[in-house]
Amino acid sequence: MNEKASALDKTIEAVLTLGLAGSAALLTLGLFLGRSGLLQAGVLMLMLTPLARVVVVTVVLFDEGDRFFGTVSLGILLVLIGSVVVAVRL
C-alpha cells in the first residue's frame, strides 16, 4: 500500500470513527436526558457519517485527477444527499 492510500485510509477511518462516536454520544445523552432533539441529532449524524466518507473520497479522487471515478463518486454522493433529504422530510 502506498503512502497516499494509507493517508486516505487513515482519514476515512477518522471520519467514520468521529461520526460514530459523536452519534453514540448524542444518542446516549438523548436517552438519559429524555431529549428528543438530541436523539434526532444523533440519528442524523449517524446518517451523515457515510456521506462524509464519500465527500472525502470524492475530493481526493478529483484532487488526484481521477475524473472517471471522481464523477462516479460524485454521483453516489448525490444519491446519498437525496436520501438524507427525503429521510429528514419524513
Neighbouring C-beta atoms of residue 45, cutoff 10 Å? 20
CB 30 within 8 A of CB 36: yes
- pLDDT digits 0-9 by tens, 58-89: 998 999 899 999 999 999 999 988 987 888 78
CA–CA distance, 34 with 58 (Å, rounded to integer): 38
Q: What angle (nearest 5°) sits at the alpha carbon of residue 15, between those of residues 22 and 1?
A: 150
- Count of domains observed in the chain: 1
Amino acid sitting at position 75? G
- pLDDT digits 0-9 by tens, 28-42: 999 999 999 999 999
Side-chain half-sphere CA neighbours of 48 within 13 A: 13
Rg (CA), the chain: 16
- Residue-number span of the structural domain to which 57 is assigned: 3-89
pTM, entire model: 0.78
